[in-house]
């Protein structure tokens, strides 16, 4: 039939076919555009999901290192406060084991904990709860190894992890009174714990938190995304769901949680 038409009236049919071809081309272009858009956005989603999984694995590893350090040294690591993030604890002097007074937040001290400093996207911020007391038994400066149970130098439990557990209990007691926003703390999870709002919804004091920044998801020039800032003591709850404008990964433990883990891990 088509052949007959072509033979009997080639020109009009040819024009009609040309018109159809233009429509077809337009349809093909639109479909191709949609397909490549779908493929690209799918790729984007997979890539950022993989990034976040990488961030979570990194954060878990850093948490394990903090715990192991606490068991061995009877204190939590001191943040790295060097501008260049050299990876060393911000101690009063190298090898002193004494965390500089007032240092609560900085970079994760990779080198002091036996790691190399990673690429920028994975380089984590780290904060530690410090609330000293003139009375050792009441002290809650978790970045300082201190004899809190009255043992003498040379005794088995002198200034060890059992003293850190006392410090953690003291911190838990302080945190139970009020969540201090001048110490490391968490804000909500946008679920039962309420809005993610550092100023308006301080939910829980923590012994430490670690924030792996990944990409600059909100495009403000800083890999950290809200509510995290370069100097802030506030972190979003690790239970907070993924949200627009942030891909930061958080791990944290309350003083009670860390004390529980340490007690279980004691020989």
Give the integer Cα–Cα distance in Å for 233 and 246.
Answer: 17
What residue ranges bind Ca ion (CB under 5 A)?
149, 151, 157, 163, 213-214, 216-218, 220, 222-223, 225, 247-248
**CB 22 to Ca ion: min, Å:** 46
Nearer to Ca ion, 23 or 134 (CB): 134
**CB 94 to Ca ion: min, Å:** 26
User: Which residues fall within 8 angstroms of residue 103, CB to CB, at 6 or more apart?
Assistant: 78, 79, 81, 90, 130, 143
**CB 238 to Ca ion: min, Å:** 15
Nearer to Ca ion, 103 or 143 (CB): 143
**CB 39 to Ca ion: min, Å:** 25
**CB 245 to Ca ion: min, Å:** 8
Nearer to Ca ion, 139 or 247 (CB): 247
Main-chain dihedrals φ then ψ at residue 218, nearest 5 degrees: -105, 10
Nearer to Ca ion, 153 or 178 (CB): 153
Nearer to Ca ion, 225 or 253 (CB): 225
């Amino acid at each position: 039939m088509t052949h007959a038409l072509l033979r009997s009236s080639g020109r009009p049919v040819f024009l009609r076919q040309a018109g159809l071809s233009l429509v077809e081309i337009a349809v093909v272009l639109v479909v191709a555009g949609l397909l490549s858009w779908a493929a690209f956005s799918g790729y984007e989603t997979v890539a950022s999901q993989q990034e976040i999984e990488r961030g979570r694995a990194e954060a878990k590893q850093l948490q394990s290192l903090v715990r192991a350090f606490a068991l061995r040294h009877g204190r939590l690591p001191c943040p790295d406060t060097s501008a260049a993030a050299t990876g060393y604890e911000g101690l009063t002097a190298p090898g002193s084991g004494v965390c500089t007074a007032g240092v609560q937040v900085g970079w994760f001290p990779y080198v002091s904990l036996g790691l190399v400093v990673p690429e920028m996207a994975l380089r984590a911020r780290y904060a530690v709860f410090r609330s000293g007391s003139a009375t050792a038994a009441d002290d809650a400066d978790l970045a300082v190894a201190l004899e809190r149970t009255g043992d003498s130098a040379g005794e088995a439990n002198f200034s060890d992890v059992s003293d850190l557990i006392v410090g953690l209990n003291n911190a838990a007691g302080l945190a139970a009174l009020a969540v201090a926003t001048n110490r490391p703390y968490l804000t909500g999870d946008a679920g039962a714990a309420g809005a993610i709002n550092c100023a308006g919804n301080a939910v829980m004091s923590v012994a430490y938190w670690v924030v792996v920044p990944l990409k600059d998801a909100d495009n403000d020039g800083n890999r950290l995304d809200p509510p995290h800032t370069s100097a802030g003591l506030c972190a979003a709850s690790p239970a907070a769901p993924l949200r627009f404008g942030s891909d930061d990964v958080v791990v944290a433990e309350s003083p009670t949680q860390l004390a529980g883990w340490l007690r279980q891990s004691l020989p």
